[in-house]
Chain A
Amino acid sequence: MSEPQADLVTVKVDEREIQVPKGTGMVETAAAAGIEIPVFCYEPRLGPPVGACRMCLVEVEGMPKLQAGCTLTAQDGMVVKTARTSDQAAEGQNATLEFILVNHPLDCPVCDKGGECPLQDLTFRYGPGNTRMRFPKRTMEKPIPISPLIALDRERCILCYRCTRFSESVAEDGQLVAINRGASSVIATFEDEPYKGHFSGNVTEICPVGALTSTQYRFEARPWEIQNVPTVCGLCPVGCNITATTREGKVKRVLSRNHPEVDEGWLCDKGRYAFDHLEARDRITTPLRKRGLRRFEASSWEDAIDEVERLLRESGTTTATALSGGESVEEAYALAKILRQGLGAHNAVLPETPSQLGGSPLSAIRGTKTIAVLSDVPVVERAPIVDLWIKAARRSGATVSYGVPTGAVGALITDDAAKAAGIVAEHVYVLPFTPNGRGVADAWSAAGDEEPVDEKQRVLIISGDEAATDPSVRALAAEAETVIGIGMFEESFRGIADLVLPGTSYLERDGTTVNLEGRLQRQRRAVVAPVPDVLAWLSKLGERFDVELSPHASVLFDEVSERCYGGVTYAELGEHATLPPLAAEAQTPRLSVDSTQTQGQAERSPGLRLVAYRPLFSGAAVERTPELAFQRPDPVVELSREDAQTRGIRNSQTVTVSSNGTSLELRAQVARDLLPGAVRIARDHAGDLHPTVEVRP
């Protein structure tokens, strides 16, 4: 997009002259001149500045009073002085800190934020050295759980309103609010109900003091004891950039690592909190062999690899592989290379047909004026951050429509590439439902391009827990003579696999992943897995079939890249990966996998089409993070305003949803993003309902 070049203006900050586009915020203007204006409430990602905390006071020539730097914008000839050169500004900042500290408990030694706390930092630099406040401080009950994930210490709160602004105008969930007025104001949820929302954890990160902290991290580590590993989340197709904080070889927390084109520094609660699955009780730590119907026994690695070799030799070209779409490009490639080049087994079952549409950064959504969303599944449940970009666009004036648009649109967001046909859109985003479906498909195709043989499949390899728990894969497993699994959790493979080899998590591996934009990103090993690296044993297995396989992700990646990614090398993928331009010739050979599109445009039958979607807070990792249980969707049926009206249904009323013989009582919720004719229920609550339902008050 070509922004019109704004007028440049010249501003003087602390004697330094600087040119910036007219209207640039003074905090940014000063920063461009290399000067810090301290802030608390200012956070441009939360919307327009509010000027609440008064930490950013500066002196402006010609203005009698100090001005809030955060709300001030650069005008030509403006002369600004910060605390560095203005006694008045220094006094103002000192005053603000004195007021903030008047009621602050100063319990830094026992505060999780200690050492990473902007209030400590700014007090150190600008604050008063002693206190003149001789009255008892305001005391409050603390800490208060505002959800199983977040604790609130109201005494430490400096009422910068960052968290409530996040809830109000980024997540738009209206859950975390300020209650009362003046000095009695406190942050709260409704009647101490948990802050339930896809993005709640972000408030712990934007809180500039230790008021909102993560219960998982509470008293777990001091900042000087930790290591922060930059990596990429592997739990959905967005691929948010994260930092995994580790201490003594364990992941202690996940923080965002702002990639302005991908996530703008926000994470969903799944990505932030589900790392507990690394420590799951049913984690597979040795190879397992089936014993009896639903039990496994441990096996040695030598025996297991021998067994796999034997089975694969027998099955040869009739081996099929079901992939999860959560593997790294390298894991998928290593597996593919053994199967395709070592065995001539070309039959792969992918969880979805990855689309090659795209090529635009997610951040482009915000810049558009018209957005069409063609998705049965709520966007937030499949690619949460995309929902934040849509909301951001709407807040800056974009219109968002949910039917097939009549004309060209700025951005098209769809859960199915087929729906994009015939629509003219500047930016297209197809939402896959696996984190690395694209990369896995690329990897598979990079290892060979022959067609699978048309024979009954004897051995089925199931790669990953997501595939193992997928009903259609389980159906295939029932057909196969033998099933070999690769995965993390016993529960996923119980009853279907004959042999299981331990898998690893995205937090335990080096490798690459391709997100829904088509962006190649590097994942780094944050902690050492309790099991051997998958690439290490695959490389050994490869030897048995004379397939040359490096155990190093970098080498494997470069092989894939030569075929699929224009030869970009592993080393070239930076900390903040750029989005490769969508080269027409880069359309690598695609897989011939049956498209299982259940499109069937809603025939105008008398009933309502039921969309039973898979919620974000589901799946193997979430199930193994007890703190996330409360985030599972409520038993509600969403319906369009029109359908609600014609049926005399009010928002929040209890209704009966029925289809042939079954019926359920659910709470009705009027949803703006639903077209008439369809209703939506999270899969967990949809019971045995058929695809066509009726809803009655």
Chain B
Amino acid sequence: MTGVGSTEPAGSAGAGFPGAEAENSLYEAIQEERAKYPDDSRSAVLPALRLAQGQHGWLSPDALREVAEALELTPAYCKSVASFYDQLHLAPVGEHLVEVCTNVSCAVVGAQRVVEAFESELGCRAGETSDDGKVTLRAVECLGGCGWATIVAVDHHYRTHVSAEHVPAIVEELRGA
């Protein structure tokens, strides 16, 4: 059986979240999410934060305020929720996001070398963004593709069986895009 988790990168989806390029404003998009859940619930918070991040690239204080206003919550509440989740960024990130799984299954087959290859190719450390602002590199916990290690999520889409040799091509692809 093969790695089906490896959906190919979806064009120029970017580091935020795809899907928020809106004819609709953020406010309306959030109201649409809200309608999926019972009236008095706050369930739309995660979808709303995802939308806001898609639009702003990261959850700036203003983005959090927008979410809060659209959901009639406080910005503090939205930040409290956002800060719990690794995929939501409370600081600016690059245009693209490269996430290398360094949990055990990937690590024992060379994930660290993949991280290091990205670091030298991008000229920044994991946790940082390349100087040209193009790519943010992160080490992440298990991505759920362990049998197809090493897993690298490029703009949220998995690449499987990545090894250090593949890294220059991926970086070139992102820099070119």
Contact = CB atoms under 8 A, between A and B. Distances in A.
Note whether A and B contact each other (Cβ less than 8 A): yes
B177 interface: no
Interface string A177-200: 111110000001111000000000
Interface stretch (B67-75, B129-137, B157-165): B67-75
A178 B72 CA distance: 19
A174 B75 CA distance: 8
B27 A174 contact: no
B80 A179 contact: yes
B74 A670 contact: no
B69 A651 contact: yes
B76 interface: yes
Contacts of B80: 164, 177-179, 188
Contact of A191 (B61, B72, B84): B61
Contacts of B64: 190
A181 B87 CA distance: 13
A448 B80 CA distance: 60
A264 interface: no
A652 interface: yes
Contact of B84 (A164, A174, A181, A651): A181
Contacts of B69: 650-652
A175 interface: yes
Contacts of A235: none
Contact of A177 (B27, B61, B65, B79): B79
A190 B84 contact: no
A176 interface: yes
Contacts of A652: 65, 69
Nearest to B84: A181
Given A180-B83, A181-B84, A190 B76 contact: yes
Interface in A445-502: none
A176 B75 CA distance: 11
A180 B88 CA distance: 11
A174 B74 contact: yes
A650 B27 CA distance: 9
B84 A177 contact: no
A173 interface: yes
A614 B83 CA distance: 38
Contact of B74 (A164, A173, A179, A180): A173
A117 B84 CA distance: 30
A175 B75 CA distance: 8
B72 A177 contact: no
B72 A190 contact: no
Interface in B42-61: 61
A189 B74 CA distance: 10
A16 B75 CA distance: 50
Interface of B is mostly: helix
Centre residue among B61, B73, B79 by max chain A CB count within 10 A: B79
Centre residue among B61, B64, B69 by max chain A CB count within 10 A: B69
Task: Give chain A's interface residue range (CB within 8 Å of chain B).
Answer: 10 to 19
Contacts of B37: none
Interface string A27-61: 00000000000000000000000000000000000
Interface in B115-132: none
B75 A190 contact: yes
A164 B84 CA distance: 15
B74 A190 contact: yes
Contacts of A188: 76, 79-80
Nearest to A650: B27
B48 to A, nearest CB: 13
Given A191-B61, A650-B69, A179 B77 contact: no
Interface in A156-185: 164, 168, 173-181
Contacts of B65: 652
A176 B76 contact: yes
Contacts of B76: 174-177, 188-190
A677 to B, nearest CB: 21
A73 to B, nearest CB: 27
Nearest to B69: A652
Contact of A670 (B72, B79, B83, B84): B72
Nearest to B71: A651
Nearest to A167: B76
A651 B71 CA distance: 9
A190 B80 CA distance: 9
Contacts of B83: 179-181
B72 A174 contact: no
A179 B79 contact: yes
Contacts of B75: 190-191
A654 to B, nearest CB: 12
A407 B69 CA distance: 35
A651 B84 CA distance: 26
A313 B83 CA distance: 72
A179 B80 CA distance: 5
A190 B62 CA distance: 11
Nearest to A174: B74
A164 B79 CA distance: 13
A14 to B, nearest CB: 39
Interface in A638-691: 650-652, 670
B74 A175 contact: yes
Contacts of B77: 168, 174, 177
Centre residue among A189, A190, A651 by max chain B CB count within 10 A: A190
Contacts of A177: 76-77, 79-80
B61 to A, nearest CB: 5
A321 to B, nearest CB: 46
A173 B79 CA distance: 14
Nearest to B75: A190
Interface in A430-457: none
Contact of B73 (A174, A176, A670): A174
A189 B72 CA distance: 17
B135 to A, nearest CB: 25
B154 to A, nearest CB: 25
A684 B73 CA distance: 25
Nearest to A177: B80
Centre residue among A179, A181, A189, A670 by max chain B CB count within 10 A: A179
A173 B73 CA distance: 9
Given A174-B76, A181-B84, 13 more contacts: A164-B80, A174-B77, A177-B79, A179-B79, A179-B80, A181-B83, A188-B76, A190-B61, A191-B75, A191-B79, A650-B27, A651-B72, A670-B72
List 3 A-B pairs, minimum CB-CB distance, nearest first: A177-B80, A174-B74, A190-B76
15 contacts: A164-B80, A174-B73, A175-B76, A177-B76, A177-B79, A179-B80, A180-B84, A188-B76, A190-B76, A190-B79, A191-B75, A191-B79, A650-B69, A651-B70, A652-B65
